[in-house]
Amino acid sequence: MTSSTTQVNPSVSIPVDTIVLSASGVVFAIFIAIAAKLFNSLESNICDLRAEISDAQKESRAAHQSLLDKIDALEKEFWSARITFVSKDELDRIRSQFEMKSEVLHDRISKISSK
């Protein structure tokens, strides 16, 4: 197999195979650089999503605990006879608030997790 050469200047001749290999090396280096940049971007997005999920879970826990504290406070007031009657409607309202906030927070976590 013969190799042709290209003359850059009369005293220097470069084999065409070397030029092709150099060009393919540059293309490969560019490909690797693009792939590394995409990988870093993907890794950054994953870290951001993990942080969002963590924040949403903390908010969910805090809201859940806040509602449990409110329920505990109402129960203590009821049993300590500071109030004589808690209507079923009031307890249902608190329960529905709790369920609604829990659903909203679970929906947020699901949306963030699905990204």
Q: What is the pLDDT of residues 73-96, one digit of tens each?
A: 888 877 775 555 667 888 888 888
Angle subtended by helix axes 16-79 and 88-114, to nearest 10? 170
State whether the Cα torsion 86-89-92-93 is positive or negative: negative
Return the higher-pLDDT residue of 73 and 18: 73
Domain boundaries, the chain: 12-114
Return the higher-pLDDT residue of 115 and 84: 115
Report pTM: 0.42
Cα gap 70→78, rounded to integer Å: 12
Q: What is the pLDDT of residues 97-108, one digit of tens each?
A: 888 888 888 888
